[in-house]
């Protein structure tokens, strides 16, 4: 028999984030712009997933590629400074 639990509600996720690159066509994903790319990595240096950043799939792939390229030419760190 299936047990039905009363009083359980799903929590809302709040407002949907907007893809910055789709909203502003003048904004370009560029690996030479670490100030823009820092918005898409955590304090520990991990790339933020698109469900959190709000990017669409195309722009998330571009951001991830730009971050990786920026790391390779030492404009951005691979990890945070280990304190």
Q: Rounded CA gap, 81 and 83, in Å?
A: 6
Residue 12 has pLDDT above 70, yes or no: no
Here the tokens at position 45 are 């240096």
Here the tokens at position 6 are 């009363």
Read off the pTM.
0.79
> Quick count: other Cβ atoms within 10 Å of Cβ 48?
17
Contact between 55 and 21 under an 8 Å Cβ cutoff? The reply is yes
Q: What is the pLDDT of residue 20?
A: 93
Q: Give φ, ψ of 47 to 5 degrees.
A: -75, 130
Q: What's the chain's average pLDDT?
A: 89
């Amino acid at each position: 028999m299936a047990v039905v639990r009363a009083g359980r509600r799903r929590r809302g996720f709040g407002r949907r984030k907007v893809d910055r690159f789709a909203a502003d066509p003048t904004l370009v994903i560029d690996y030479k712009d670490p100030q823009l790319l820092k918005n898409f990595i955590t304090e520990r240096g991990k790339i933020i997933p698109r469900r959190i950043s709000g990017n669409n799939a195309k722009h998330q792939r571009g951001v991830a590629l730009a971050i990786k390229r920026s790391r390779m030419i030492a404009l951005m760190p691979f990890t945070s400074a280990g304190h």
